[in-house]
Amino acid sequence: MPLAVGKDAPAFTAKDTNGNTVSLSDFAGKTVVLYFYPKDDTPGCTKQACSFRDAQSQYQGKDIVILGVSADDEVSHQAFTQKYNLNFPLLADSDKSLIKAFDVDGGGYAKRVTYVIDPSGKITHVDSAVNTTTHASDVLAALGLI
């Protein structure tokens, strides 16, 4: 069962698409959209990632950071990012520590769950019924931005 709204988001550190170390604390003062997805370059996951890519202009200038997370490694994330021209980082969770911390373990992969984390680190929205095609817009609506 996903973590509840109102809880502090678990602190984390992971490698991004380019091998950079990323921590939740790096984004203090910003809203973080942390979306978990099962696997790079699969139909639903591609639609979901491309929805965020295509909506990037609606997120810019609003102090919102988008981070995708799956159990795929950095090499897989790099190929996925290049193939679909993704314009936000993907986090490699090969050891599934984030998947476990955010309680989205689907038995070897991440369940499709999105957390919105406010600038102080609290979970303000959880979406576990993701529509992969409209997900980026759905998150903006949940934030009251459209």
Query: Would you call 45 a catalytic residue per the annotation?
Result: yes
On the question of pLDDT at 61 being above 90, the answer is: no
On the question of pLDDT at 1 being above 80, the answer is: no
pLDDT confidence of residue 2? 83
> Catalytic residue among 14, 33, 45, 55, which?
45
Q: pLDDT over 70 for what percent of the chain?
A: 100
Q: Please write down the HEC assignment for all residues of the chain.
A: CCCCCCCECCCCEEEECCCCEEEHHHHCCCEEEEEECCCCCCHHHHHHHHHHHHCHHHHCCCCEEEEEEECCCHHHHHHHHHHHCCCCCEEECCCCHHHHHCCCECCCCECCEEEEECCCCEEEEEECCCCCCCHHHHHHHHCCCC
pLDDT tens profile 88-113: 999 999 999 999 999 999 998 999 99
pLDDT confidence of residue 90? 98
Mean pLDDT of 13-41: 96
